[in-house]
Amino acid sequence: MKEEEKIEATDQTGKKYNYWPLVLPVMVTAIVAIGVYVNNFWGLPPSRKPSDWAAFATYVSGTVGVAAVVATLMAFVITLKQQKKLIDSQSDMIIKQEQQLDLTRQQLEGEERRRKVELVYNCAVNIIPPVVKELERQRVMRSDYFFDGFDLVQEVPPDVNIHQTVGELFSDGGEYSWLDQLDKGWLICFGEALTGNAYRLGVLVSDCLYEAKELEDYFRSVIGSDNFSMIECAMLFKKNSVNSGFSRHQRALRIVDGKQSNPAAQFWHDLGEKAFEKPTE
């Protein structure tokens, strides 16, 4: 809280009210009432009758007592007003503290937002390009490299050209329909190997776009249309896999679910439906 706010609060709540203006009239009333009573009955011996003392008590309560009650009520009203001022002052301080907390929270959120955007731009410049190059390298690799790694040669139909590149398996003119003939286990293993790099790049770009949408054109330019088509196929293939986060990535990368406009994307979409069961709602 600012220093002037503290002083203002002290002025409003720390000032003590002087109750002597209420006490003095009661004292004067008591002196006058008792003086009049003594003046009228001066010289008489103290009474031994309870009725006389009862009459004296009634007299005192009717004079001094009434004045004391009135003064007490006035003091009570003054106390209530002071408490109201104190409550109002505390309410004002609470409101100002909440405003200060909101301002601090906004500053922290702004700083956190700035830090995230800074990390995204750093990722866009220093991380995305090498990952794209790795994907480019994979696209020109021959698919039989993966056959050897998974011992899939005997699973591939004999009329399939096993020397085609990985990129051709994701292009409209490629020969990829034979993948649908693989057993589910082999299909998942081979599909994961083929789509892994493209999928990871898609997730990375998607996370960046959630923090900095203005980088979409930059990413599409750096990645290229062929690589982005491969990313799209990879996302569609793994959309039903565990923790795929497809809905989030779909919105960021503008990927259409369901029926696809090109045969390759549609094939990998259907292949993913076969490989991974849809999660139950």
pLDDT of residue 4 exceeding 70: no
Question: What gap in Å lies between CA 24 and CA 47, rounded to an integer?
Answer: 31
Burial tier of 197 (Cβ tally within 10 Å: 0-12, 13-18, 19+) = buried
Structure confidence at residue 279 as a pLDDT band (50, 70, 90): low
Question: What gap in Å lies between CA 240 and CA 271, rounded to an integer?
Answer: 11
The reported pTM is 0.62
Return the minimum-mean-pLDDT range out of 80-84, 160-164, 180-184: 160-164
Task: Give the pLDDT mean for 89-101.
Answer: 90
Question: What gap in Å lies between CA 152 and CA 191, rounded to an integer?
Answer: 12
Residue 148's pLDDT is what? Answer: 62
Residue 257's pLDDT is what? Answer: 76
Share of the chain above pLDDT 90, in %: 26
Residue 42's pLDDT is what? Answer: 74
Residue 12's pLDDT is what? Answer: 45
Instruction: Output DSSP code: residue 213.
Output: G
Q: How do residues 36-45 score in pLDDT, each as one tens digit?
A: 777 777 777 7
Residue 197's pLDDT is what? Answer: 92
Residue 22, CA distances (Å) to 13, 16, 60, 81 in order: 21, 14, 18, 16
Residue 274's pLDDT is what? Answer: 87
Residue 8's pLDDT is what? Answer: 41
Radius of gyration for the alpha carbons in the chain, expressed in angstroms and rounded = 44
With the CA atoms of 57, 59, 61 and 64 taken in that order, what torsion angle do they form, in degrees rounded to the nearest 10? Answer: -120
Question: What gap in Å lies between CA 55 and CA 62, rounded to an integer?
Answer: 10
Return the minimum-mean-pLDDT range out of 5-19, 65-79, 190-204: 5-19
With the CA atoms of 221, 246, 241 and 239 taken in that order, what torsion angle do they form, in degrees rounded to the nearest 10? Answer: -70
Residue 2's pLDDT is what? Answer: 42
Residue 48's pLDDT is what? Answer: 78
Q: How do residues 226-241 score in pLDDT, each as one tens digit?
A: 999 999 999 999 988 8
Higher confidence at residue 114 or residue 159? 114
Give alpha helix (H) positions in 41-171: 50-60, 66-126, 128-139, 144-150
pLDDT of residue 180 exceeding 90: no
Structure confidence at residue 244 as a pLDDT band (50, 70, 90): confident
Q: Which residues contact 97 (CB under 8 A, 6 or more apart)?
A: 1
User: What average pLDDT does the structure give for the chain?
Assistant: 81
Return the minimum-mean-pLDDT range out of 32-41, 216-225, 264-273: 32-41
Q: Where are the domains of the chain?
A: 3-120, 128-275
Question: What gap in Å lies between CA 23 and CA 125, rounded to an integer?
Answer: 82
